């Protein structure tokens, strides 16, 4: 039975939940954090146990650097190590740039980009000591193009920053046996968008259909596998060729 430990931000629902349940089926210990979704967190923790894993559910806002460090410390204290850090949390809102507030602008960076830095600083010393570890960050399918985004400006810039941070971490951590990669979803039916909005986007997706949580989970599964040991600094787009 595996004794691997995963730490997932935003793991109570959506894609994060799908990853947690997939790892649970392989008997991983899964720690995940949430901010407000307490009922979803309880349900996810129960489902992890039902599938053969161990669960640790913690209310935590990883946009706070102190809380992020405490989250890592709690997991290491509970289970001794962190084998995989999966940065799945990421708030999103749609508003024209000139209607954006200072608080809304900051929220996009505090929620999508900064926690990856905080958590990497806290989690990698243990990974370095074991000369093993996987970090997976979540981007956005077309963030590598750096095109204008009038209605999601801060979110888009933050996701472009995720790609740069991923590559930097990959270069710094590769000598220590650690891989760092990005998964960049397009339109995924994860429960975060209204079905009507997703349906309207279908005609813009070359593959002709909306992606599923399992499509994203499969990419995570690969990046955590021994087969991906030499994949480092990559950006895997899960978009049916949208956004390329």
Q: What residues are annotated to the active site?
A: 156
State which H helix or E strand residue 170 sits in.
Answer: helix 153-173
Buried b (16+ CB within 10 A) or exposed e, 69-82: bebbebbbeebebb
Q: Which residue has the tokens 């399918």?
A: 141
For residues 151 and 96, is the Cβ–Cβ distance under 8 A?
A: yes
Fill in the DSSP letter of residue 102: H
Fill in the DSSP letter of residue 208: S
For residues 243 and 141, is the Cβ–Cβ distance under 8 A?
A: yes
Q: Helix and strand tally (H, E) in the chain? A: 8, 9
Put residue 80 in one of left, alpha, beta given phi > 0 → left and psi -120 to 50 → alpha.
Answer: left
For residues 127 and 82, is the Cβ–Cβ distance under 8 A?
A: yes
What's the Cα-to-Cα distance from 232 to each of 9, 175, 235, rounded to whole Å?
A: 21, 11, 9
Give phi and psi for 145, each to the nearest 5. -85, -20
């Amino acid at each position: 039975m595996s004794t691997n430990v995963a730490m997932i931000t935003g793991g109570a629902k959506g894609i994060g939940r799908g990853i947690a349940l997939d790892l649970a089926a392989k008997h991983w210990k899964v720690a995940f954090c949430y901010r407000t979704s307490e009922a979803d967190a309880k349900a996810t923790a129960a489902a992890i146990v039902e599938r053969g894993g161990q669960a640790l559910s913690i209310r935590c806002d990883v946009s706070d650097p102190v809380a992020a460090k405490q989250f890592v410390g709690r997991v290491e204290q509970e289970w001794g190590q962190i084998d995989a850090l999966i940065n799945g949390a990421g708030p999103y809102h749609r508003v024209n740039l000139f209607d954006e507030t200072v608080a809304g602008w900051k929220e996009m960076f505090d929620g999508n980009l900064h926690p990856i830095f905080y958590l990497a600083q806290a989690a990698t010393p243990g990974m370095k000591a074991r000369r093993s570890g996987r970090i997976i960050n979540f981007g956005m399918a077309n963030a590598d193009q750096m095109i204008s985004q009038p209605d999601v400006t801060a979110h888009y810039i933050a996701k472009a920053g995720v790609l740069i941070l991923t590559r930097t971490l990959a270069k710094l951590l590769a000598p220590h046996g650690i891989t760092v990669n990005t998964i960049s979803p397009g339109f995924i039916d994860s429960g975060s968008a209204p079905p009507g909005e997703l349906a309207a986007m279908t005609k813009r997706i070359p593959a002709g259909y909306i992606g599923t949580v399992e499509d994203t989970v499969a990419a995570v599964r690969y990046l955590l596998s021994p087969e991906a040991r030499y994949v480092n600094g990559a950006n895997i787009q899960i978009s049916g060729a949208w956004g390329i």
